[in-house]
Amino acid sequence: MPSFSVDDRAWVCLSLEAACAISDIHQGDPRNAYEVAGKEEGTFFLRTMRNDDFYNPEKPVLFLGVNSVSPLTRPPNYIVHAAKDLGASIAIVEQRYTGTSLPTKEFSVGTLKKFFTVPQSVQDVALVGQNIKSRLPGIRIILFGCSAGGVVAALVRKYYPLTFDGAILSSAPLKFQLEYREYTEVVEKDSSNRGLGGSTQCLSALKGAHSTIGEKLASPEGRRLLEKTFDIHEGDLETREVQTTLTFNGRLAHVVVQFNDPQCKGEYCNVEKVCKKLTEHGWP
């Protein structure tokens, strides 16, 4: 795996209303394509990672990845392997509010509705791509994205076809469904699957915990208690959408079954560890 450097000087607009563009980008190769002289009012730091170990200047191609809703760590192996085969440079853009790319230090629902929208994430990526193209004439930019990152990559390619030459997507939920019964059924089956470390006792405990939370959501006093317990901004649980987001897809179990990894090192990072916690110690 090649090493990646973190660019600490890429600034973009805080909101769609601001007339903003990344400026003072050094000309040269993709390693310098995101360097910005300074921060202007109404902007925030958009973190990126880059590597050009495989870059072939005779056939200039850049693979621009968009991370999902998890913090930026390193690019997926399929991007690295493709870059090696095709002689492409690699850059990954961290979506706002998914790691250290924070437009604000306050995260209430009202703030996120204002500054954490799909059109804003699309504009962030578009600004990066437009400046790469303006400073590196002739370079071709191919977008990569999985899950939520795939949604942004798809829309960037759709609305900025003159900047981005293609997009490769995986599991991009372009028709997102918040209350997704079929997914919940998978969570139920996995929680009771002995082969994954689950059990009927685990499923029963998980259902009981969600029932208790449902009861708390029914009253203002209960919602305040849940907000304090889960470190949620006071008053945010007053809307149905946020209540559903709190509990959907097994989120309260601290495991996303599509990423269940038997060898993970975290405390509650797979079905087996979550079920052990629930059956041996009970719900906190």
Alpha helices in 8-76 (DSSP H): none
Model confidence band, residue 34 (pLDDT cutoffs 50, 70, 90): very low
Q: In the prediction, which pLDDT does 68 show?
A: 84
Strand, coil or helix: what is 17? coil
Q: Residue 88 above 80 pLDDT?
A: yes
> Which residue range forms the structural domain that includes residue 208?
181-281
Mean pLDDT for the stretch of residues 177-189: 80
| Residue 126 shares a structural domain with residue 186 | no
| Residue 273 shares a structural domain with residue 161 | no
Mean pLDDT for the stretch of residues 8-16: 45
Model confidence band, residue 218 (pLDDT cutoffs 50, 70, 90): very high
For residue 13, tell me if it sits in a domain. Answer: no
| Residue 161 shares a structural domain with residue 201 | no
Q: Residue 61 above 60 pLDDT?
A: yes
- The Cα–Cα gap between 125 and 136 comes to 16
Tokens matching residue 219: 């009253």
**Last residue in a domain, options 170, 194, 214:** 170
- The Cα–Cα gap between 120 and 16 comes to 6
Q: Residue 99 above 90 pLDDT?
A: no
| Residue 125 shares a structural domain with residue 254 | no
255-271 pLDDT tens trace? 666 667 788 887 878 88
Q: In the prediction, which pLDDT does 8 show?
A: 39
| Residue 35 shares a structural domain with residue 163 | yes
Q: Residue 207 above 60 pLDDT?
A: yes
Q: Residue 199 above 50 pLDDT?
A: yes
| Residue 101 shares a structural domain with residue 187 | no
**Last residue in a domain, options 119, 151, 170:** 170
For residue 175, tell me if it sits in a domain. Answer: no
Q: In the prediction, which pLDDT does 204 show?
A: 92
Model confidence band, residue 221 (pLDDT cutoffs 50, 70, 90): very high
Residues 170-177: contacts with CB under 8 Å, at least 24 apart: 170/145, 170/146, 171/146, 171/147, 172/145, 172/146, 172/147, 173/147, 173/148, 176/151
Q: What percent of the chain has pLDDT over 90?
A: 30
Tokens matching residue 175: 């028709």
Number of domains in the chain: 2
| Residue 148 shares a structural domain with residue 44 | yes
Which residue shows structure tokens 């969570």?
187
Domain CATH number, residue 124: 3.40.50.1820
- The Cα–Cα gap between 11 and 22 comes to 6
Q: In the prediction, which pLDDT does 24 show?
A: 35
Q: Residue 5 above 70 pLDDT?
A: no
Q: In the prediction, which pLDDT does 257 show?
A: 60
Q: In the prediction, which pLDDT does 167 show?
A: 97
| Residue 133 shares a structural domain with residue 260 | no
- The Cα–Cα gap between 271 and 198 comes to 6
Mean pLDDT for the stretch of residues 55-62: 91
For 180, list phi and psi in degrees, rounded to 5. Answer: -120, 90
DSSP character string of 168-202 = EEES--TT--SS-HHHHHHHHHHHT-GGGT--HHH
| Residue 99 shares a structural domain with residue 193 | no
226-255 pLDDT tens trace? 999 988 889 999 988 888 888 776 666 666
**Last residue in a domain, options 135, 170, 205:** 170
Across the strands, what pairs with 140? Answer: 61
Q: Residue 62 above 90 pLDDT?
A: yes
For residue 1, tell me if it sits in a domain. Answer: no
For residue 176, tell me if it sits in a domain. Answer: no
| Residue 166 shares a structural domain with residue 202 | no
Closest CA to 89 of 134, 147, 144: 144
